[in-house]
Amino acid sequence: MFGGLRDKLRAARERLSGSIQAGDAVTDTGSESAPASPQTVVGKSPATPVTPSSPGFVEKVKILIKDRELVVSEKDVADALSELEMTLLESDVALPATDAIIASVRKNLVGKHRKIGESVDALVVGALRSALMDVLGTGFDLKEYIRTHNRPVKILFTGVNGTGKTTTVAKIGAYLKKEGFTVVIGAGDTYRAGAIEQIAVHAERLGIRIIQHQEGADPSAVLFDTVQYATSHNLDVVLADTAGRFHNKANLMSQLGKIKRVMKPDLVVYVDEAVAGNDAVTRAFEFDKTVGADAVVLTKADMDSRGGAAISIAHTIGKPLMFLGVGQAYDDILPFEPAQVVDELLDGGA
C-alpha cells in the first residue's frame, strides 16, 4: 500500500539528510579556520520567510564553539524541501496538505540544535513523522463511537458510483459483527439494477439481517424500516447503503437530503476510491458541502501506490479517515490508524 509514495519519501528524506550534513560541513569548517563567515551560517535567505525559531548569527557561533552543536539553517534545507514539495504533489497529495507538510517540516528542522555526530536521519524522520501525523489527523474509532452513543447507531453511506460502497457496507458489517456488535443492513440502493441482490448476498454470507424493498422503491422508506427494525430488536448498528450519485446531480442529492431527514443518521460516511487521488479529495469536499460527511472510507487502497488521497483527505476536508479498503475479502478493511500509516511510509521496506 502506498509503495510509490514510500519510495519517494525515502528519497526525499535522504536528500534532506544529505543537504543538512552538507550545510554542517560548511559551517564546521568555517568555525575551525576562522570566525564563521556570514555566508556559512546565515539562517535567513532574502527569498525565504524568517521563522521565529531561526537562530541569530551570534547564537549559532556561540552554540558551535561552546556546545559543539550544529544548527540547521533555512538555507540547508531549502532545496530539499522544494524537492519534497514536488514529490508530494506528484503523489497527488493536495496542495493545502502539501503546504502544511512542508511548513511543519521546515518549522521542525530550521533552528534545530544537533550535537555533532548525532544522526541527521533521525532528525529528518522525526520532522517528517510529526508533519504527516499533523496532516493525517486522528482517525476515527468506530467501535468507541458506537460504545459511547445511543443504540442503534445509524450510519449512512454515500458517495459516487462504482467506488465500492456496497462492498464497504458488507465489510464494515463483518468487522462490527466480529467485534461483537449486532448489525442490520438497509438496502437503500433501490436504483442500481442488481444492487439489492448484491447486498442481500453479502448479508446472507455474513449472517447479518437485511431490510429490503423492491427495486425502484423509495430508499427513505427502506432505511426508515431498517431503523425501526433495529430499534425494536435492540440492535447496535444500522448500516444504510445508498445508490451512488454525483454531487452535481441536484435531484439525487435532494433524495439524499430526504433520506437524512427521514432516518436521521448519527454518522454520514463518504466512500470513495483511493486510486482516484485528488479527484476523491475534491468530491469528498463537494459532498461534505452538499449533504455533510462525518468520516471518510477509501477503498482500493491496495491498488494505490501514490497515497495522495489518503494523505490529504482528512486535512483538506477536515473530516477523519475511518477505514481503508485493501482487497476483495470481507476482512480486507483496516481501521485507519495514522501512526501505523506513518510508520509504514517512513520505516516500511527500509
d(CA 36, CA 24) in angstroms, rounded, equals 12
- DSSP-derived pairing of the beta strands 183-188 and 267-273: unpaired
CB neighbourhood size of 134 (10 A): 16
Q: Is the peptide bond before 52 cis (omega within 30 degrees of 0)?
A: no
Nearer to another protein, 87 or 158 (CB): 87
Shortest Å, Cβ 280 to another protein: 12
Shortest Å, Cβ 339 to another protein: 24
Residues of this chain that bind another protein (CB under 8 A): 4, 86, 88-95, 98, 162, 167, 194, 197-198, 200-201, 204, 275, 277-278, 282, 302-303, 305-306, 308, 312, 328
Nearer to another protein, 27 or 91 (CB): 91
d(CA 331, CA 71) in angstroms, rounded, equals 48
Type of residue at 23: G
Nearer to another protein, 67 or 204 (CB): 204
d(CA 344, CA 296) in angstroms, rounded, equals 20
218: burial class by Cβ within 10 Å (0-12, 13-18, 19+)?
middle
Q: Which three cell numbers stand for residue 141?
A: 474509532
Shortest Å, Cβ 279 to another protein: 9
Rounded alpha-carbon distances, angstroms, from residue 218 to 173, 214, 231, 246? 23, 9, 20, 19
Shortest Å, Cβ 178 to another protein: 21
H or E segment to which residue 230 belongs? helix 219-232
Shortest Å, Cβ 90 to another protein: 5
Nearer to another protein, 265 or 308 (CB): 308
Shortest Å, Cβ 4 to another protein: 6
Q: Which three cell numbers stand for residue 289?
A: 458541502
Type of residue at 24: D
Nearer to another protein, 117 or 162 (CB): 162
Rounded alpha-carbon distances, angstroms, from residue 197 to 97, 201, 203, 275? 40, 6, 10, 27
Nearer to another protein, 61 or 326 (CB): 326
* Neighbour order of strands in the sheet with 183-188: 209-211, 183-188, 237-242, 153-159, 267-273, 295-299, 321-325, 333-335
Nearer to another protein, 59 or 286 (CB): 286
Shortest Å, Cβ 277 to another protein: 7
> CB–CB of 246/296 below 8 Å?
no
Nearer to another protein, 186 or 277 (CB): 277
Shortest Å, Cβ 237 to another protein: 23
Termini Cα distance of the chain: 14
Shortest Å, Cβ 252 to another protein: 20
Burial track 250-287 (b if 16+ CB lie within 10 A, e otherwise): eebbebbeebbebbebbbbbbbbbbbbbbebbbbbbbb
Nearer to another protein, 51 or 282 (CB): 282
